[in-house]
Structure 1
Amino acid sequence: MIALIVKQTCNLSSASKALPIKCLPQSFYRRIQRFFAGQYFDYRQISQLIFNIFSFDKVQLTLDRTNWKWGKRDINILMLAIVYRGIAIPIVWTLLNKRGNSDTKERIALIQRFISIFGKDRLCCTNLSVKAFSAI
């Protein structure tokens, strides 16, 4: 974890060269891979950590989706993010098991996950579709 912080990247190849250790960078790279492969990340706690780091009170949300191919596999992520100083900070997301756009039900489910973690009172305004937001 220190190597990731020192290099300020989540690129494991770059992080493997960050610390003065007595093994080859390739060995350290593989060690980092094994560490992350065996870890369980509680995404609810990660969302709360992000929220607390920035000391958010009321937030504006934005919804985005990205889709790309990894070999023959489609990677399709629906992301709910907090708008902060001109950037979007991912806070809650879901992997869609399909190509293409999300549907209203999937968007509502993502917003409901945010509300279950942080509550409706944390929302100040949103640029989400009126239909999706009013259905909550």
Structure 2
Amino acid sequence: MTIPDTARLHADTLATHLHTALPHRRLDALRRLAEVLLALIQAESTLHRKIALHLPRDATLESKTRTVARVFHDAQLTPQDVTDVLLPLLPQGKLTLIIDRSTWHDAQTALNILVLGAILGGAVIPLVWSILPHQGNSSTAARILLVARLLGVLPARRWAVLIAEREFVGQQWCSFPRWIRIRQCLRIRENTRTQDDLARDLFTTLQPGEVRTLFERT
């Protein structure tokens, strides 16, 4: 079986799953969506032309690029649709979750997006998100609301750990995962002081792959 044939088979399989989760959508539209999703993963890019290079279609690059553009603009998927489709695809058991904020650009508009997703292989699969009505860091309330939305369909017993970047700090925010019994792994700034030492001084001798644990409460 050639690579294009294999890609078409994968697209057919994904389209069937999408139709099961979204029976109100047309199968041909879902198949185009499946092709673009798989091509997006291969391209590791959101640029239409790069995604088009991986579409398993016998057409010109310009034609395939227009197909990608139509799928992005006409998919009409709600956030709930995305969650309904992706959750059954995740492995059973505990999952590693990541919360992050990123700024994307839609034409001339900057979108400040707060995203909560699960690690699957070498990628993070976004499960829920919200577009913040401002630029800059997210508020504690926005983070808690996003976590609560996912907890509605993915109970805390499925969360192995919640990973977050340095901007996700604050006593109220850090207390919330602990209150709902979710372990968390938060990156801290190198100038964070632990009693008499700076964090960077405690861990400066570590080599890649090594771990150092502070057993005392700090």
TM-score range, shorter chain: 0.7 to 0.9
RMSD: 3.1
Which deviates the most, 120-129 or 73-82? 120-129
Aligned residue-pair number: 134
The structure 2 residue matched to 1:64, chosen from 80, 100, 104, is: 100
The Cα of 1:66 is off from its aligned counterpart by 1.2
Matches within 5 A, 1:31-110: 31-68=67-104, 72-84=108-120, 87-110=123-146
Question: Aligned equivalents of 1:15 and 1:47: distance in 2?
Answer: 23
User: SS of 1:117's equivalent?
Assistant: coil
Q: Does structure 2 retain, via aligned residues, the 8 Å contact 1:108–1:135?
A: no
1:109 to partner: Cα distance = 0.6
Runs (5+) with no aligned partner, structure 2: 1-31, 165-172, 181-218
CA distance in 2, matches of 1:45, 1:69: 23
Structure number with the higher strand fraction is 1
Structure 1 runs of 4+ off > 6 angstroms?
none
The CA distance in 2 between the partners of 1:60 and 1:91, in whole Å, is 12
> What residue identity is the alignment partner of 1:61?
L
* Aligned twin of 1:130: 174
Cα deviations by residue, 1:21-67 (Å, 9 ceiling, x for unpaired): 3xx43244324423442221132232343333232322232211112
Give the share of equivalent positions with the same residue, in percent.
22
Give the CA deviation at 1:115.
0.7
Which residue is equivalent to 2:19? none
**How far off its partner does 1:104 sit?**
0.6
